[in-house]
Amino acid sequence: MKNFTSKMDKRTGLMTTSFVVFAVAVPFVMYKLGAPRVSLFMVSLIMALAFITSYMMIPQLFLNDKTIVIKNNFVNIKIPFDDINTIEENPKIGLNIRTMGVGGLFGHFGYFNGNDVWYVTNIYNKVKITMKSGKVYMISPENPEEFIKKVKNFS
């Protein structure tokens, strides 16, 4: 199985760095303003949990003879080639509404635009997979053209 995982784009890296700065600055400012220790602990815990959970959601993308595999610490999604209706590049960056998930910290993971399932670490390398059932997956392989070509050659 070949790994096609994409690296974070600059925008996602900037959002992640901004979150880290914010997560350190908020408790520091609260401490300087004399906030109770319980409040400091709770805010720090929430920030740490958001960071760790988002990090654990970074997907690994694999391709074998008959299946696309999306793995992270929470899911192991297998997309059989036979169930794919269309697979295409989707480089456009528009308004996407996060229904549930992470929207920028290490990437974009979860449900967007209703029920579209996203495991995207690089918004400029998106590939849209539409299943015969109508379900949509959005992933980001390092080289979308090569990825799509390999999937089409296998199927």
Q: Residue 120's beta-bridge partner residues?
A: 108
Short-list 1, 155, 2, CA closest to 81: 155
Question: What is the tens place of the pLDDT at every residue in 29-63?
Answer: 999 999 999 999 999 999 999 999 999 999 999 98
pLDDT tops 80 at residue 94: no
Residue 106 CB: number of other CB atoms within 10 A?
21
As a whole number of angstroms, the distance between CA 8 and CA 142 comes to 10
User: Is 124 in a helix, a strand, or coil?
Assistant: coil
Average pLDDT over residues 133-148: 92
Q: Out of 5-9, 35-39, 44-48, 100-104, which region has the weakest mean confidence (pLDDT)? A: 100-104
**Residue-averaged pLDDT of the chain:** 90
- Residue ranges and CATH numbers for the domains of the chain are 1-155 (2.30.29.30)
Say whether pLDDT at 96 is over 80.
Answer: no
Is residue 129 packed enough to be buried (19+ CB in 10 Å), middle (13-18) or exposed (0-12)?
Answer: buried
Cβ-proximal residues to 49 (8 Å cutoff; 6+ apart), any chain:
none
The predicted-structure confidence for 67-91, as pLDDT tens digits, reads as follows 999 999 999 999 999 999 999 998 7
Using alpha carbons only, how large is the chain's radius of gyration in Å? Answer: 18
- Give yes or no for residue 142 having a pLDDT over 70: yes
Give the Cα-Cα-Cα angle 111, 117, 121 (nearest 5 degrees). Answer: 95
* Percent of the chain whose pLDDT exceeds 90: 63
CA distances from 85 to 29, 113, 133 (A): 52, 19, 8
CA 64 to chain centre: 21
* pLDDT over 80 at 93, yes or no: no
Region 119-146 average pLDDT: 92
pLDDT of residue 155: 62
Backbone angles phi, psi at 132, to 5 degrees: -60, -25
Cα–Cα dist 152/154, whole Å:
5
pTM of the model: 0.83
